[in-house]
Each structure stands twice: as structure tokens, then as C-alpha cells.
């Protein structure tokens, strides 16, 4: 049914110059990584390392400061918050916060705290919604609804939440001290509850009460983000530093540059199309929160780790097509994951790590390997930018 | 005309699609007669597709998520597929296999957008992100003889 032949031209962007702010291909040896990191109040440092549970690969972290609304003293800075363009909103693991630190809970009209069940593909996270002033880099958003995962105040996960997956409410099960969803939407459209007298039932909060992408609530530079990560060698890297830049075309350091192709996203799902091996995968996405490129290719062996393990590194091409039919081909490599990990035991960033996607999911996921050496712009739905109105991605 | 149509039935090449007002739905590994409460619990609309090799019961939930359950001629649900803006109640959908899902070892490297289990009695993969999730689970032992994994869509 989806076996269309790709008629899309293949202008492979092998040799795009790595100019300031612009995208570049991760295939070439001279990727975007030669640029000095940008500076400015709209820049936060990104770090790729093994993370707080010491088992992360291809995961970009940032530090986030949360304060009680209006306070400059009741504040905490939390490191190792995963930067995720596939979700929306800030979530902190309760155990990563000092036990004495408290933020005001968000309540409904009856004064009951609003609690969220967040569902990820690998599990569910339960915890109350609190309100905080959120500072990332030099940008602050006031009174942002955020989620505190695994709070002892709401230790019993209702079955209607836990029935959707395994619970990941700790730093070790979650793999980070929290997650910063900076994708192309403002609200997370999650499952919300109140629990009067300890009995939780689902509610429909107002949009303003839902956990929200803090970037959209910044006073300035609030129309999107750029994830800027340097390229790494084919054997991977043990240490990577990049930048999370706020705003698109709002400052001298966040112009679209060479990322002139705007790929608009489905306004409901945030997905676009990616064509690979002649098949169109119409539920595809670019996701900094995915630790590999995930796609269908039954000809590539899979090793026990779940990643692809071809006998030798493969150079492949896929075509990204926006809802607006803007289209370009992208080259990427797939190396043997077992060989990568055994040859570079301290490696935490690999641009050639890939894994199988289930054919009928209709999806090709360009994960963090795609972002290594290619600056990826994500514009928030409804926000105007020099490249048009979000939701879109550009690279 | 008529013989032509029945001939296609015999070949299993035709599909009969009928809308049912009475819910009939089951969890993975369960039987049709045992469970009718998936649809009730999900408050969804049901569509049933019958082919020679299996029957597909498809629930569309109010949240816009589509759940398909594949029933063998023996009446056993051998596969389930879900897709949509919200993950469905997987305990209801996976039945007794839900514990295999939640007890499965965590992946070596954390990843919130993909999860996969490959065990002798359960192959499960769930992927996606907020507003767009998809997953599939089946028990290889329950696959009818003439059904390929690629038939589960």
C-alpha cells in the first residue's frame, strides 16, 4: 500500500558549507562542528555525555533553573535535563530536586492539585503539575506549568495511568534528571487528573493549565529553537558540546542561514514524510530525543543490542518532504553498532547509529545522529518566523 | 456474478466489512467470547473486517486512536496494533501479556521514543512521540499458519 516509487529529485546536499547558523550535512567530513559555539542571552549549552544513569548514548542535556514564581531566591538549577524535540514541556524527576525545595502546585477550581500522566513510547511518568519561573541560558519564562515526576505527594499511580506502560519515575528508569520538550507545539495534550481524598480521576484542564513548552512562554526569542551540535567522527566521540539557541530570526545568532528549505509539519501530529528505499513513510519525524536513526530496512542485520549491525558501514540516502512538499535528500551512514561500542568504549555520540523501525508504523525517525553536524530548526505552531509560520523544521 | 463472488470468497481474496453495533473484542491471547469490554472501556466505535485467514476488530477511540485486534479462525487474538494521538489502555489491549511488557528489561540505553521486546511469546514494538504513537504486539506461537507477520498492519 505504501510501496510508491520515489519520484522526488535527489539533490544530495553533500557539500553545503558550514556557515554560521546554517545547516550542513552530516555526511561530509567538514560539518557544522567547526563553528565556534554561539554566544548570547538566547543560548544554552548542550552537553552529550553518559547522563546521570551512566548509560545514555546520543542524548543531549541542558541545565535548567526553576524558581518559585516571582522569587529570585527559592530556586534550583538542575543539570542533565534531556533536550527533546519530540515532546512539549519541562518535566523534572522529583528525586533530582532537594527534598526541601518546593514549588507551588497548580490547582483546579476546587483547590485540588492537577496531576499528569505523561506517556512516552517506553513508559509512563506520573506526578503533579507545579508552577515555576523557568530560566534556560539567559531566557526566562514566568509561571510555567511544569511536571514533577515521581513526587512523594502523589506516590500512588492510578491504574488508568500505569495501564498504559511501565512506570518511569526515577532518574535511573527515566535516564535523565528531567526532560525539556522543545518540539513544535506549546501544550503536551497529555492525561490530566485531580486526586481529591486520594481518589484520582481524569479532568480536562484549560490549555493554559497544561504543561507547556517554556520556549513559547519566553518574553522574546519564543518562536522556536535551533539544536546546534557539532559533527563527530565515524568512530564516535566521548564528549560533545553544542548549543540550544532560542528564537528563529530574532537575533543576530539565530537566522535561518543556509537552512533555507522549510519543511512544514502536520498540524495535528508534528510529523512529515520521509522516503527511503522507494517507500514513503508519512508518519516520520526529526527527534533529538531518539538515540538513533530508526527506519525500515529488513536487509540490515540487527544485533542483540537492538541496533543495526551491518557487516560494513553503509552509506544511505533518504528524502525528507514537508507537508508543503518541500523536499531534499539527506545522506547518512549506518555502522555496525556492536563494533562502534566495542571500539570506543567511552563513546557517547555516534552519527552512524541506527535501529529498525516496525514496517507498519509508517515512520522514519531521524534521531540525534542526524543532528550531529546538522543544525536543526524547530518552529513552534502558530508562531511567525522569517521562514514562515510554525509548525515546521528546517536544517 | 454470484458464483464469481463466492469464488473469491473461497480464495480468501475478498473482504467483508460490516459495522457491528454489538461489541465483540478481546485482548491479546484472549478469546472473542471472553471479553467484550475493550470497546466498552475505550468507549470507541467498532468495525470488523473478515478475511479467510483472520478477522480484524478495529476500535476507534474518542481520542482518535485506532486499535486493531487480529483474531484467528480459532477465535484467539494473535496480534494487536494501535496508532494515534494517545496510547490506549495497554493492559486491556495486551491482556495477560501486559505483565511481560511491564516486566521487560529496560533497554541498555534510555530512549523515550522507541521500545521493543523480542521474547519467545511476545514481540512488541512501540514508537512515536507526543500526539503520534504507534505500536504492535503479537505472540509468534499464536500466528495462524497462513499468516505472515507482515499481514499485521
| Residue extents of the structural domains in chain B | 2-142
Q: What residue in A sits closest to B90 (Cα-Cα)? A: A164
B60's CB contacts (< 8 A; 6+ apart) are B44, B45, B47, B66
- Per domain, the residue ranges of chain A are 43-217, 257-394
Residue of B86, B124, B129, B137 to mutate when probing chain A, most A C-beta within 10 A = B129
Relative to beta strand A88-93, strand A114-120 is unpaired
Question: What pLDDT, on the 0 to 100 scale, is given for residue B43?
Answer: 65
In angstroms, the separation between the Cα of residue A248 and the nearest Cα of chain B is 23
Q: What is the pTM of this model?
A: 0.88
User: Mean pLDDT over residues B79-92, rounded?
Assistant: 94
CB-based contact B110 A51, cutoff 8 Å: yes
Residues linked to residue B39 through DSSP beta bridges, in sequence order: none
Mean pLDDT over the full length of chain B: 79
Contact A167, A126 (CB under 8 A): yes
> Hey, what's the cell of A85?
524535540
3-state secondary structure chain B: CHHHHHHHHHHCCCCEEEECCCCCCCCCCCECCCCCHHHHHHCCEEEEEECCCCEEEEEECCCCCEEEEEECCCCEEEEEEEEECCCCCHHHHHHHHHHHHHHCCCCCCCCCCEEEEEECCEEEEEEEECCEEEEEEECHHHCCCCCCHHHCC
Question: What pLDDT, on the 0 to 100 scale, is given for residue B39?
Answer: 61
Residues 88-147 of B with CB under 8 A from A: 88-92, 98, 101-102, 104, 106-116, 125-136
> Is A267 within 8 Å of chain B by CB?
no
Q: What would the DSSP string read from start to end of A232-284?
A: --TT-BS-EEEEEEE-SSSSTT---TT---EEE--TTT--EEEEETTEEEEEE
pLDDT per residue, tens digit, chain A (395 aa), is: 333 333 333 333 333 333 334 444 333 333 344 466 788 999 999 999 999 999 999 999 999 999 999 999 999 999 999 999 999 999 999 999 999 999 999 999 999 999 999 999 999 999 999 999 999 999 999 999 999 999 999 999 999 999 999 999 999 999 999 999 999 999 999 999 999 999 999 999 999 999 999 999 999 999 999 999 999 999 999 999 999 999 999 999 999 999 999 999 999 999 999 999 999 999 999 999 999 999 999 999 999 999 999 999 999 999 999 999 999 999 999 999 999 999 999 999 999 999 999 888 899 999 999 999 999 999 999 999 999 999 999 99
Question: How far is A247 from A255, CA to CA, in rounded Å?
Answer: 9
> Is B2 within 8 Å of chain A by CB?
no
Residues 355-384 of A with CB under 8 A from B: 355, 357-363, 365, 367
CB-based contact A294 B101, cutoff 8 Å: no
Which of chain B's residues have a Cβ under 8 Å away from the Cβ of A370? Answer: none
State yes or no: pLDDT of B58 exceeds 60.
yes
Task: Please state which architecture CATH assigns to domain A43-217.
Answer: Beta Barrel (2.40)
CB-based contact B134 A185, cutoff 8 Å: no
Neighbours of B76 (CB within 10 A): 18
Q: How far is residue A375 CA from its own chain's centroid?
A: 13
Contact A94, A149 (CB under 8 A): yes
Amino acid at each position: 500500500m505504501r510501496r510508491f516509487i520515489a519520484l522526488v529529485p535527489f539533490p544530495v546536499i553533500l557539500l553545503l558549507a558550514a556557515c554560521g547558523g546554517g545547516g550542513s550535512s552530516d555526511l561530509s567530513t567538514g560539518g557544522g562542528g567547526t563553528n565556534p559555539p554561539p554566544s548570547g542571552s538566547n543560548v544554552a549549552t548542550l552537553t552529550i555525555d553518559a547522563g546521570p544513569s551512566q548509560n545514555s548514548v546520543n542524548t543531549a542535556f541542558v541545565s535548567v533553573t526553576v524558581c518559585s514564581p516571582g522569587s529570585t531566591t527559592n530556586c534550583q538549577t538542575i543539570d542533565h535535563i534531556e533536550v527533546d524535540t519530540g515532546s512539549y514541556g519541562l518535566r523534572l524527576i522529583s528525586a533530582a530536586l532537594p527534598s526541601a525545595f518546593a514549588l507551588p502546585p497548580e490547582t483546579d477550581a476546587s483547590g485540588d492539585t492537577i496531576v499528569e500522566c505523561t506517556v512516552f513510547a517506553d513508559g509512563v511518568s506520573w506526578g503533579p503539575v507545579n508552577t515555576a519561573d523557568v530560566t534556560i541560558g539567559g531566557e526566562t519564562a514566568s509561571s510555567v506549568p511544569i511536571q514533577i515526576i515521581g513526587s512523594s505527594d502523589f506516590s500512588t499511580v492510578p491504574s488508568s495511568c500505569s495501564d498504559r506502560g511501565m512506570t518511569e519515575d526515577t532518574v535511573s528508569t527515566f535516564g535523565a534528571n528531567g526532560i525539556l520538550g522543545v518540539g513544535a507545539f506549546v501544550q503536551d495534550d497529555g492525561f490530566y487528573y485531580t486526586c481529591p481524598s486520594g481518589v484520582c480521576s481524569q479532568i480536562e484542564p484549560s490549555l493554559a493549565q497544561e504543561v507547556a513548552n517554556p520556549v513559547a512562554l519566553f518574553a522574546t526569542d519564543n518562536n522556536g529553537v535551533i539544536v546546534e551540535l557539532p559533527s563527530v567522527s565515524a568512530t564516535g566521540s566521548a564528549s560533545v558540546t553544542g548549543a540550544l539557541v532560542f528564537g528563529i530570526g530574532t537575533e543576530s545568532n539565530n537566522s535561518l542561514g543556509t537552512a533555507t528549505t522549510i519543511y512544514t509539519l502536520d498540524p495535528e501530529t508534528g510529523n512529515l514524510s520521509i522516503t527511503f528505499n522507494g517507500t514513503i513513510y508519512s508518519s516520520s519525524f526529526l527527534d533529538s530525543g531518539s538515540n538513533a536513526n530508526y527506519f525500515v530496512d529488513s536487509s540490515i542485520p540487527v544485533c542483540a543490542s537492538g541496533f543495526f549491525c551491518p557487516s560494513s558501514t553503509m552509506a544511505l540516502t533518504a528524502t525528507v518532504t514537508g507537508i508543503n512538499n518541500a523536499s531534499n535528500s539527506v545522506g547518512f551512514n549506518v555502522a555496525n553498532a556492536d563494533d562502534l561500542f566495542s571500539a570506543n568504549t567511552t563513546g557517547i555520540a555516534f552519527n552512524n547509529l541506527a535501529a529498525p523501525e516496525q514496517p507498519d508504523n509508517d515512520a522514519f525517525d531521524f534521531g540525534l545522529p542526524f543532528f550531529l553536524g546538522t543544525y536543526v530548526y524547530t518552529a513552534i505552531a502558530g508562531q511567525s518566523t522569517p521562514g514562515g509560520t510554525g509548525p515546521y523544521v528546517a536544517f | 456474478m454470484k458464483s464469481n463472488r463466492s469464488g473469491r470468497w473461497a480464495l480468501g481474496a475478498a473482504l467483508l466489512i460490516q459495522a457491528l453495533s454489538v461489541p465483540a473484542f478481546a485482548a491479546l491471547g484472549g478469546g472473542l467470547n471472553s471479553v467484550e469490554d475493550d470497546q466498552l472501556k475505550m468507549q470507541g466505535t467498532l468495525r470488523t473486517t473478515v478475511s479467510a485467514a483472520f478477522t480484524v476488530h478495529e476500535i476507534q477511540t474518542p481520542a482518535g486512536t485506532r486499535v486493531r485486534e487480529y483474531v484467528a479462525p480459532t477465535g484467539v487474538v494473535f496480534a494487536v496494533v494501535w496508532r494515534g494521538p494517545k496510547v490506549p489502555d495497554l493492559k486491556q489491549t495486551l491482556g495477560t501479556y501486559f505483565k511481560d511488557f511491564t516486566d521487560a528489561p529496560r533497554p541498555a540505553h534510555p530512549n523515550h521514543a522507541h521500545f521493543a521486546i523480542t521474547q519467545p511469546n511476545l514481540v512488541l514494538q512501540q514508537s512515536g512521540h507526543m500526539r503520534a504513537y504507534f505500536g504492535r504486539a503479537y505472540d509468534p506461537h499464536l500466528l495462524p499458519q497462513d499468516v505472515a507477520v507482515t499481514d499485521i498492519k
